[in-house]
Chain A
């Protein structure tokens, strides 16, 4: 009997002592999927958010969409201001009367103005706030962040999803780096490395209206934005060095008008710091495999497989060029160690690093990087010789 009473009382006490403090019904919460940060004229933060709509879509969507009407968006965008980010979000919460759920944020768009004035506070907030995930992507835009957040797209009822899918595909092809808040946090915390972020831009397209374009890299020094790396080849060079290129096409110009396109099927690059006469150097090895996607000219690779070796040599050169372009931009134009070479040397040569760290800003621009590319063309496609 005593046991039975205890069995009843203990769960009741548990229920009472725990309570439902963190209870938060899903329909009473505002789920934010993306947010942008701008500055106002008086130096405050303006946060614009994409919040999932809790109301049902209005009826009659069946015949509406068939007439080619603009797809209804599933989000509402709201903005509020505050002296800090959390302050601004707090104001937003009050305005909505709902608890904000930050755990589904896909990306944060930072306007160039905010980036120039420093993003330390923002990165601190993303790392500190327990709801925020570590894999929120940091993006920089040249215009106003609120414009990006406000824009709806016909592709997806949730614009954040559309941007997310573009971002992931582009990153695989090496046209934009995906820098998460955790990456940014780590680069910012390192004494020698320079953070970077992807860039999102809004273009006016004649047919589709406003479209997002995700290319380029925004380079930071400490927490302040210093410039864009807009060259497509250099951007892919950066991604080659960071071992982030996993797919994509490489066009090899041949004699005359002929050219061959190689489709990458796998790629891998490794960084190995070495010491050359007491001077640090980096050995970068890129290995990739690919198939011929298209080809013009008078070649028959099935009959003369040697031609493939020639192509491979040319492909090596092209990739090498891209990498060297990226290196020269980072080393001379921006003088920012966005590849975190410093950390790689630190790991392999911790004793030497003590000296190197002090004057890394002088060492980095002069750092020698040996690039070695091994391309391998696997298959020629369904046909061998171009028909004409």
Chain B
């Protein structure tokens, strides 16, 4: 939903409003609300909370010039909301000029409220005690922008919910808004999942303002545009898209806008909620939207023409479009000298391929193609396989399954029991299983290698995305041999090549091959040699800098 558009919910008990949808859908909606428990307990009151109000009712309501009416209205609307605070003051300590200011507890900067509102308004000016225009007095004393003065009640209510301070002055039929927003949040920390050896140590936090600030801090450019959206019927979460005008391609920016506008959902608690709505192909196995918790990556992407989607309440920022080659790039590539940076990128790509295919390849060799096993390895293999009860495919599947369980346990477990899990994992599932003859040593090596290799991909989620294709290839390798494995790899590749991310081919610049784009895809070309921006993303031939 775009800002300032109120949702169309309603209570079943109230009479059907003229602008609502059909009765059936409204009942369904309210049922949904009941299920999710979003309705408040006191249904006897027709204005129990703002969500249940008829939008037309609020829209029609203007801010009254009588302070008492306003106060009553707000108290009514925020009934049973103990975190709403209404404070009355007398401007210039004059009994005639009373005002109330409304805000949500702990959502604004309390000190600033005391200092900048209460003190300023209450203290008497030195020259005069008579105020010809109370509205102008307050507006200019507090420096409120004209557009922050609302005459409609619904706008004022939204401002309160957005944790701003709203001032109603007696005799003025407008609400004055001051932004002292300071919702509880933690301070900027070091990145926890995307660690870097030599990169900056800042990570995004849950506050959208701070996150935008972290990006803006890095790109001091008037062309860095930040467009606000509000998504979520219940949560009204702030979402912003960031891009650099002139570098980002207009069509892609428009596409992002359109897709965000189309989202109609109750809650956006994390940006994954958005991600699933705006993805190109929901059935594609790999992500087509990049997530990162590092502002330096976002800034780097923005200057390349990518578009960032920042969601309030999530320390993760989405970046689109996301191509396969991007998932092989790590920040450290750019903080290392380019030769080692390139080499590491290759190693990562090899690891990606190995983690997918190695278990399947191993199983296919052992079950179907003994002639392909190198001679020196046959003796070792046949000895390690001796006396193992399970066929090699099921052995591999069960070990991978055990690894998946261990990994899941490692994420979910409380930190205090961490050592127990690692001991059990290493000893019981590794050594003891081999010594007991349940699994063969080589299978443990293959599974462990495959698991470790998956961790080299810079995106932490890749680890989970790689699991289904790995199992699929393993099963194909174990049932159809090399034929099945190659067939599976081909299906996977065809799937990857046909996928798109916001209109950009997922496997580009590898397929379709774009020779000019390979300098930052296959190798990590030195910064001074990359003169042109990626045409793939910007869609225009633009130069990054003048050639020397």
Contact = CB atoms under 8 A, between A and B. Distances in A.
B386 to A, nearest CB: 5
Given A18-B480, A103-B371, A104-B371, A26 B383 contact: no
A255 interface: no
B362 to A, nearest CB: 11
B382 A31 contact: yes
23 contacts: A14-B480, A15-B479, A15-B480, A23-B367, A23-B479, A24-B367, A25-B366, A26-B373, A26-B385, A27-B382, A27-B388, A31-B378, A52-B378, A52-B379, A52-B382, A53-B382, A55-B387, A74-B379, A101-B371, A104-B371, A104-B375, A157-B379, A158-B379
Contacts of B484: 18
Interface in A215-270: none
Interface string B375-412: 10011011101111001100000000000000000000
A359 interface: no
B94 interface: no
Contacts of A157: 379
Interface in B168-215: none
Contacts of A131: 371
Interface size class of A (residues with CB under 8 A): 20 to 34
A20 to B, nearest CB: 6
Secondary structure call for the B interface: helix
Q: Which 6 A-B pairs have the closest CB atoms?
A: A103-B371, A27-B385, A26-B366, A56-B386, A101-B370, A54-B386
A77 interface: no
A26 B387 CA distance: 11
Contacts of A14: 480
B368 interface: yes
A54 B382 contact: yes
B375 A54 contact: no
B359 interface: no
Given A15-B480, A52-B378, A104-B375, A29 B370 contact: yes
Contacts of A27: 382, 385-388
Interface string B480-491: 110110000000
Nearest to A51: B382
A20 B371 contact: no
B480 A56 contact: no
Nearest to B372: A103
A207 interface: no
Contacts, number: 69
A146 to B, nearest CB: 22
Contacts of B367: 23-26
A66 interface: no
B373 to A, nearest CB: 8
A101 B381 CA distance: 14
Interface residues of B, number: 23
Contacts of A23: 367-368, 479, 481
B490 to A, nearest CB: 13
A61 B480 CA distance: 39
Secondary structure call for the A interface: loop
B460 to A, nearest CB: 29
A104 B378 contact: yes
Interface of A: 14-15, 18, 20, 22-27, 29, 31, 52-57, 74, 101, 103-104, 106, 131, 133, 157-158
Interface of B: 366-368, 370-371, 373, 375, 378-379, 381-383, 385-388, 391-392, 479-481, 483-484
Contact of A22 (B366, B368, B379): B368
Contacts of A106: 375
B64 to A, nearest CB: 56
B480 A103 contact: no
B379 A26 contact: no
A104 B386 contact: no
A62 to B, nearest CB: 15
A173 B371 CA distance: 30
Nearest to B376: A161
Contacts of A25: 366-367, 385, 391-392
Nearest to A106: B375
A56 B380 CA distance: 10
Contact of A26 (B370, B375, B479, B481): B370
A152 B322 CA distance: 61
Given A52-B382, A101-B370, 12 more contacts: A23-B479, A24-B370, A25-B367, A25-B392, A26-B367, A27-B387, A52-B378, A54-B383, A55-B386, A55-B387, A74-B379, A157-B379
Nearest to A54: B386
Nearest to B283: A4
A139 B371 CA distance: 22
A23 to B, nearest CB: 5
A56 B366 contact: no
B326 to A, nearest CB: 28
A74 to B, nearest CB: 6
Most buried by B among A26, A52, A74, A133: A26
Contacts of B392: 25-26
A158 B382 CA distance: 13
A158 B481 CA distance: 29
Contacts of A103: 370-371
B368 A31 contact: no
B15 to A, nearest CB: 41
A27 B392 CA distance: 10
Given A22-B368, A131-B371, A57 B382 contact: no
